[in-house]
């Protein structure tokens, strides 16, 4: 069974003046650390709330330095338990994000229909091969001669 794992990361950012700037820099910095190995990990701002339930911005700024809460989401394939999926996601992401604390926020089971639908969508996007008439037109050169067959090309080279 496949699982969707969401991990929260606390990314430090330096020399920033606003929460929006801090978030943009943190997402860019995290993307650079994850790519190209983990380019399938989705990066988004985390939702933060105060103890009283009030919504807070994802970045906390003090003395031109910020700590930004980001959510990193990835799918782990062929696992039976949520704990196993969590360990795999933390290990894969943690190896690339050195000195950045991670916490598993949630693990969700990916329904088989979603995976099958994605595979069917990919198959629908394939371009159909043209007819034999199209192949002959493509194989002809500008002066109207057909390109030699593969066997003829091999005989000419030997």
User: For 77, what's the count of Cα atoms within 13 Å in the CB-facing half-sphere?
Assistant: 3
pLDDT confidence tier of residue 80, bands split at 50, 70 and 90: confident
* Domains of the chain: residue spans and CATH: 2-113 (3.30.70)
Nearest to 11 by CA among 58, 69, 56: 69
Could you please report the per-residue DSSP string of 85-142? HHHHHHHHHHHHSTT--EEEEEEEEEPHHHHHHHHHHHHHTSPPPP-HHHHHHHHB-T
Nearest to 96 by CA among 48, 60, 45, 43: 43
Helix/strand/coil percent split, the chain, to 5: 40, 30, 30
Is the per-residue pLDDT at 81 higher than 90?
yes
Write out pLDDT tens, residues 95-123.
999 899 999 999 999 987 655 555 555 55
pTM attached to this predicted model: 0.68
């Amino acid at each position: 069974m496949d699982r969707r794992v969401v991990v929260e990361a606390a990314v430090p950012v330096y020399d920033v003046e606003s929460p929006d700037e801090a978030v943009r820099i943190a997402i860019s910095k995290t993307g650079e650390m994850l790519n190209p190995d983990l380019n399938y990990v989705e990066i988004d701002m985390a939702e933060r709330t105060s103890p009283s339930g009030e919504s807070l911005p994802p970045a906390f700024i003090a003395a031109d330095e910020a700590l930004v809460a980001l959510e990193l989401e990835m799918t782990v394939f062929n696992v039976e338990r949520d704990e196993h999926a969590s360990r795999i996601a933390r290990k894969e992401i943690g190896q690339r994000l050195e000195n950045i604390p991670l916490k598993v926020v949630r693990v969700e089971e990916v329904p088989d229909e979603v995976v099958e639908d994605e595979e069917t969508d990919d198959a629908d996007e394939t371009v159909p091969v043209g007819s034999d008439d199209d192949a002959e037109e493509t194989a002809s050169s500008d002066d109207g001669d057909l390109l030699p067959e593969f066997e003829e090309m091999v005989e000419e080279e030997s």
